[in-house]
Amino acid sequence: MDNFSAAPDVDAVVIGAGFSGLYATKRLRDIGLAVRAFDAADGVGGVWTWNRYPGARTDSLHETYCFTFDKDLVNEWSYTEIHPGQAEVLEYLNLIADRFDLRRHYTLTTTVTSAVFDEATGLWNFLTDKGESLTAKYFVTGLGLVSAPILPNVPGLEEFEGEVYHTSRWPETPVEFDGKRVAVIGTGSSGVQFVSTVVDQARELTVFQRTPNWVAPTGNRPVTAQEIEEIRANHDEVCRLVRNHPAGWPWEMVDRKCVETPAEVREAMFEEAWEEGGFALLYKTFSDLSTDKAANDIVCAWMAKKIASIVEDPEIAKKLTPTHPYGAKRPPAADGYYQAFNKSHVRLVDIKEEPITGFTKKGIRTSQGEFEVDVIVMATGFDAITGAFTRMDIRGVGGKELNDHWSEGPLTYLGLGVAGFPNMFMVAGPQSPFANLPPGAQEQGNWIADLIVHMRENGIEFVQPTEQAEIEWTKHLTEVAESLMTRYGLEANSWFAGANIEGKPRAFNVYFGGHAAHTDLCAAEAAEGYPHFEKVAKVAELA
């Protein structure tokens, strides 16, 4: 069987125009490949084109929520806030597309519906929802972690006569809330940001909560000119810190244990970190909060007291207080979230006590009555990590369906490749680290480009991870997740573990060993000549 009996239309197809897809497109183009890239949105920006809801902002830090490969760009661009808002991140990604001439590769408003590997030609065949078909040798995904939204599985939504929005499909034209009765379903990162932002606009705000979250303040504020100058002057150090931090944060790891620290000292440290906001409480206080349940119980008890000190009604405070460990599910950040529940026009509905049974013409029906509202905001999250893959038809060698391969949860090697799916590479895919995204997107984009260069220089036409490598990676990833507070993710409905969706396989979808460990493993894999990959010259030689 000849390889490439038909010339491919392009060398590589990239899906996605967020951080991952844009950078992969750039790198593949820079190593000389002809690249076509697609995105379902009508502009570049990935998740930031869709998640335009009021209050949407990253809780990563401004100096790290960007690429670092171009020093000139680092010296020219800066965000204006510590935690950049949606519009500014979108502006940054548009700048990336323009500055590096990436738009010409992209076909927007176009969904790739299938990607099928053809053994006769050794090429990937793609179909789009616009009826285009094309072939490529390499297939690279930058599909995003949170791109496949979900809705509550209860009847009657079509009967509701008011407005309905999902936070991740927010219209470009502003939505007015003034004087309206607004319902929000969901209290994850999107829900708490939304609630904190619209609370003073809505006439009534009813929050439907399934699982409460530990919501830290953000600590957001404008970035000062002096800070920008310092970051630019010390940029190599910022990169070093990010490279070595498990979450890709520009912080040194602390080396002190909560359980060994006197109560008054640790409480002062918690208070300081709480004021700093975001992930400071988790990463800047103690090293054992994620590993030792006793330490985690201490920080949770402290936060529970904090919630009780903010929320005036003790019953409501109790309902807002999680029972899961801090970090068992992705902790959100928002300013004024708990304070919102002190306002007389804000109600909390605990849907574990009072389940939503359906939607009506006028609002939301629960087991105990009907809530009449003008607007329903679904902040109900995503079929995270794997959803964007399993909604596509992806088939590898022998017609093997990715959906079948992942029927019990994702199986990959390093989150970068899948056995039986040759020359398919994923950036920020399932089983890659859960960390600040841009540094990982840059590392992984570089790694994929380097592997393709290695293939070209060594007469290798096809690569795929071995099945054994996948099994070992999944075992390691599971052991790491089981050793951390993430092991409580199932009870906490965490999307980390597929537990936010009924019927989804329960498996850890992300790697919690950290950005630094993953980057080291990827570097070692490359340095050793990709020992966990099959590397062959002909399709027929693939195992």
Q: What is each CA distance from 354 to 338, 368, 476, 512, in whole angstroms?
A: 21, 6, 40, 34
Computed from CA positions of residues 36, 42, 45, 50, in that sequence, does the dihedral angle turn out positive or negative? negative
Q: Closest CB to ligand NAP belongs to which residue?
A: 188
Asked if 322 interacts with ligand NAP (CB under 6 A), we say no
Near ligand NAP by CB under 6 A: residue from 25, 78, 141, 190:
190
CA distance 420 to 398: 8
Q: What is each CA distance from 140 to 98, 119, 197, 340, 389, in whole angstroms?
A: 21, 18, 37, 43, 12
Q: Determine how many CB atoms are found less than 10 A away from the CB of residue 6.
A: 12
Asked if 210 interacts with ligand NAP (CB under 6 A), we say yes
Pairs from 288-292 (Cβ < 8 Å, separation ≥ 24): 288/257, 288/258, 288/259, 289/258, 289/326, 289/327, 289/485, 290/327, 290/484, 290/485, 291/483, 291/484, 291/485, 292/257, 292/258, 292/259
Q: What is each CA distance from 158 to 206, 375, 383, 406, in whole angstroms?
A: 20, 13, 22, 33
Give CA torsion, residues 20, 24, 25, 26, to 10 deg: 110
Pairing of strands 163-166, 181-185: unpaired
Nearer to ligand NAP, 330 or 504 (CB): 330
Terminal Cα-to-Cα distance of the chain (whole angstroms): 15
Stretch that binds ligand NAP, among 30-38, 179-187, 448-456, 483-491 (CB under 6 A): 179-187
Near ligand NAP by CB under 6 A: residue from 28, 112, 349, 379:
379
Stretch that binds ligand NAP, among 52-60, 109-117, 304-312, 528-536 (CB under 6 A): 52-60
Near ligand NAP by CB under 6 A: residue from 20, 147, 211, 444:
211
User: Shortest approach of ligand NAP to residue 186 CB, angstroms?
Assistant: 3
User: Shortest approach of ligand NAP to residue 485 CB, angstroms?
Assistant: 15
User: Shortest approach of ligand NAP to residue 320 CB, angstroms?
Assistant: 12
Asked if 383 interacts with ligand NAP (CB under 6 A), we say no
Asked if 247 interacts with ligand NAP (CB under 6 A), we say no
Nearer to ligand NAP, 36 or 365 (CB): 365
Phi, psi (5° rounding) for residue 401?
-90, 135
Nearer to ligand NAP, 61 or 463 (CB): 61
One-character DSSP codes across 285-342: S-SSTTT-HHHHHHHHHHHHHHHHHH-SSHHHHHHHS--SPTTSS---B-SSHHHHTT
CA distance 312 to 383: 35
Asked if 197 interacts with ligand NAP (CB under 6 A), we say no
Near ligand NAP by CB under 6 A: residue from 381, 387, 409, 417:
381
Q: What is each CA distance from 427 to 24, 416, 424, in whole angstroms?
A: 8, 7, 10
Asked if 534 interacts with ligand NAP (CB under 6 A), we say no
Asked if 217 interacts with ligand NAP (CB under 6 A), we say no
Q: For 258, how many CA atoms within 13 A lie in the half-sphere containing its CB?
A: 26
Residues 461-500 that bind ligand NAP (CB under 6 A): 493, 495, 500
Near ligand NAP by CB under 6 A: residue from 186, 219, 410, 438:
186
Nearer to ligand NAP, 152 or 396 (CB): 152
Asked if 58 interacts with ligand NAP (CB under 6 A), we say yes
Nearer to ligand NAP, 381 or 422 (CB): 381
Q: Among all chains, which residue has been given the structure tokens 């409905």?
A: 493
At position 111, the amino acid (one-letter code) is T
Tell me the two tokens of residue 95.
Answer: 């700048």
Asked if 191 interacts with ligand NAP (CB under 6 A), we say yes
Over the Cα atoms of the chain, what is R_g?
24
For the chain, give the longest Cα–Cα distance: 74
User: Shortest approach of ligand NAP to residue 215 CB, angstroms?
Assistant: 11
DSSP-derived 3-state class of residue 11: strand
Near ligand NAP by CB under 6 A: residue from 142, 188, 217, 513:
188
Residues 393-432 that bind ligand NAP (CB under 6 A): none
Helices (H), ranges, 31-102:
47-50, 71-76, 86-99
Nearer to ligand NAP, 83 or 105 (CB): 83
Nearer to ligand NAP, 191 or 327 (CB): 191
Q: Name residues whose C-beta falls within 8 Å of residue 267's C-beta, 6 or more positions apart in sequence.
A: 302
Asked if 46 interacts with ligand NAP (CB under 6 A), we say no
CA distance 147 to 95: 22
Residues 123-142 that bind ligand NAP (CB under 6 A): none
Nearer to ligand NAP, 166 or 405 (CB): 166
Residues 257-296 that bind ligand NAP (CB under 6 A): none
Stretch that binds ligand NAP, among 18-26, 181-189, 225-233, 445-453 (CB under 6 A): 181-189
Per-residue contact flags (x/-) with ligand NAP for residues 9 to 38, judged by CB under 6 A? ------------------------------
Stretch that binds ligand NAP, among 184-192, 410-418, 419-427, 443-451 (CB under 6 A): 184-192
DSSP-derived 3-state class of residue 422: coil
User: Shortest approach of ligand NAP to residue 236 CB, angstroms?
Assistant: 26
User: Shortest approach of ligand NAP to residue 500 CB, angstroms?
Assistant: 4
Near ligand NAP by CB under 6 A: residue from 64, 94, 189, 206:
189
Residues binding ligand NAP (CB under 6 A): 57-59, 146, 152-153, 167, 185-191, 193, 208, 210-211, 330, 351, 356, 379-382, 493, 495, 500
